Chain A
Amino acid sequence: MSRSLHDATRNSFPERAERLTRVESEAAVDVLVTAPLLDRRSWRRWWIGVAVATLLTLVFVGAIAMILGKGIGVLGNNTSIVWGYPIANYVWWIGIGNAGTLISSLLLLTHQRWRAAINRFAEAMTLMAVAIAGLFPILHMGRPEYFYWLAPYPNVMHLWPQWRSALVWDFWAILSYLLFSIVFWYTGLIPDLATLRDRTLGRAGQLFYGALSLGWRNSARHWYAYEKYYKAMAALAVPLVCSVHSIVGLDFAAGMMPGWQEPIFPPYFVVGAMFSGFAMVVVLAALVRWGLKLEALVTMNHFDAMAKLMVMGATIMGLSYAAEWFSGWYSGRHADHSLLAFEFVGHYAPMYWAMLFCNVMACQIFWFRWARRNMAVLIVVAILVNIGMWLERILIVWNTLAHAYLPSMWSLFAPTIWDWAVTLGSLGFFALMYLIFVRVFPAISMHEVKQLVHEEVAA
């Protein structure tokens, strides 16, 4: 099979701007994508990755055990800054989780064909990021053992969720988004799982992929139903993508605090989420194409398109920050003016300036074509954006709570080792789930890329 793989990838194929892939036939797509899963090739890089990720996952599990066992007192939260790392991490992970479904749905509905090569692993990213995000509000609760009280279920207390609580909004936003993402991702996988079922040789693999592909036979009837269903789901996804992060924005905007009380928050959070999500997709795309040798399918043209979206995101972020400063100043309220001054020159000012650099300035390099096609630049900027977006989330929490209305309440946040452990550990947990995903499922949507190749070769 490795021989046919060699034939399939035409490494010497010159990169042409008008084509998105460098594959000449539909069969070659199957070979390229399924080869890493079915061939007995070396998985050394993968095992090293799994080892590191497992180690970090253990740190994550240990930190969670500590937080649940001893209570949230082990974190740096204090009586003024009652939200800390868990909320910042929650917002950050939800943001990461936003891009996958956006790529699948919005780009599908707007006929952006380049999405075909990246949507599968972007959706997987969404799924895992949202699942991790869902953990953080629970970790941040004083009595996490009662988290299920957020759900309306029959109980002998006759209790019903408190709809005025932002926590309940989070619960519904995350849950509906997570369930939707799972269904969307899985049903998108079905034709590819059937391909794997037909290509795999081992009995266990046939049973595993066969059961998951739910009897997909590649018939015209199946495709007819599938296409209709998938378009309908994509149309449903767009409002969900917007709602999930709008709700997160409302968590803040509904709080009567200087710096939070702004109607621009929901759209501004949605843009920020897509921005950070795209940055994460760039990092993952670089890793996936390197790790699985998929350079022929995920080409520099894809990175070019994503970089353009990122420079748009960075510019909108800059405008959002400016709008925030303007409304703070225009409100004429002393508390808002004082907070603005605190943001720019106060205790957290170095982080604030770093955030502005990462989120607004760094991406401006993508106005240049060479930067959009340079892997090193792409990865460095994407990581800077992710750091910048995390800084934004922690600073939204810190600045406002550290500098609210009452000067007697002003205080600073001192992160503890458990804050860092749960934050870095969540990255490890994400990496571990992602590594398992690329080992078990096709990282590229074969049936969609085949369609693309078919159109391109025919044209």
Chain B
Amino acid sequence: MAQIFSPRATTIAVIVLVALVSVPVVLIAYIYQVHSSPYATHVGIPVAQPIPFSHAHHVGDVGLDCRYCHTGVETSAFAGLPPTSTCMTCHSQLWTNAAMLAPVRESLAKGKPIRWNRVHDLPDYVYFDHSVHIANGVGCSSCHGDVSKMPLTRKVKPLTMGWCLSCHENPAPHLRPQAEIFNPHWKPGPDHEKEGRMLMAHYGIDKDHLTDCSVCHR
């Protein structure tokens, strides 16, 4: 009787058997990589805005405090976006004819707020609160990066649940003294491990319940 298979069939059989195990593993690893890549998280990709607002200029060059525009950050869940009148505290005098600022003047004239596009947008089932983070030693730049070096605003952190939890599980390395909260250039010092422990005690942070579901979800 003639052979059913050629000698090549053995190779094919081995490849199929190996693929049965390796393909699902590789596939899962690939999907995980895609989900944590900037393709899915948009980290480092500037968002188009109606006016090319530069944090690098306003924070880095001019030296404005974060709270000058984001007034609600210490007291409410939402940090707040400035009304057009805040822009006009300077721009009613400076660059009054600049073409770039035409939408600002139009907004003031018509009484319609500028429609900025969100850079940091969490899902609706996440009840993030800015004030509690500010009050407990998490500075702006810990999540938003050093905006004083951003001509156009972009995300620097993935904002995935895993990223949130990485700090909620071990907050100490990310805490800073109260005076440094709004410092965009702050970096942890060489003996931050000790300082972090002291700050945990200072802010009275209880790590045990920071990862409960209801801390962020309701």
Contacts and interface: CB of A to CB of B under 8 A. Distances in A.
B1 to A, nearest CB: 8
Given A158-B165, A158-B166, A207-B4, A153 B28 contact: yes
A225 interface: no
A211 B162 contact: no
Contacts of B160: 156-157
A407 interface: no
Given A154-B29, A155-B162, A206-B4, 13 more contacts: A153-B28, A155-B32, A156-B32, A156-B36, A156-B41, A157-B160, A157-B161, A157-B162, A158-B161, A197-B4, A207-B5, A211-B9, A215-B10
A459 interface: no
A259 interface: no
A177 B83 CA distance: 62
14 contacts: A154-B28, A154-B32, A155-B32, A156-B35, A156-B36, A156-B41, A157-B161, A158-B166, A197-B4, A206-B4, A210-B4, A210-B5, A211-B9, A215-B10
The main secondary structure of chain B at its interface with chain A is helix
Contacts of A157: 160-162, 165
A155 B162 CA distance: 8
B161 A215 contact: no
Interface in A269-301: none
Contacts of A153: 28, 32
A214 interface: yes
B123 to A, nearest CB: 11
Interface in B126-142: none
The main secondary structure of chain A at its interface with chain B is loop
A218 to B, nearest CB: 14
Contacts of B158: 156
A115 B10 CA distance: 34
Interface in B1-42: 4-5, 9-10, 13, 28-29, 32, 35-36, 41
Contacts, number: 37
Bin chain A's interface residue count. 10 to 19
Contacts of A206: 4
A17 interface: no
A458 interface: no
A159 interface: yes
Nearest to B40: A156
Nearest to A207: B4
Nearest to B28: A153
Nearest to B12: A211
A157 B162 CA distance: 4
Contact of B161 (A154, A159, A197, A207): A159
A154 B34 CA distance: 12
Interface string A188-210: 00000000010000000011001
B161 A214 contact: no
Contacts of A154: 28-29, 32
Contact of A215 (B13, B28, B32): B13
Contacts of B9: 211
Nearest to B33: A154
B37 to A, nearest CB: 10
Given A211-B13, A215-B13, A156 B162 contact: yes
B12 to A, nearest CB: 9
B95 to A, nearest CB: 42
B14 to A, nearest CB: 11
Contacts of A156: 32, 35-36, 41, 158, 160-163
A117 to B, nearest CB: 29
Interface string A213-257: 011000000000000000000000000000000000000000000
A356 B5 CA distance: 58
Contacts of B4: 197, 206-207, 210
B53 to A, nearest CB: 29
A83 B101 CA distance: 62
Interface string A121-157: 0000000000000000000000000000000011111
A240 B36 CA distance: 37
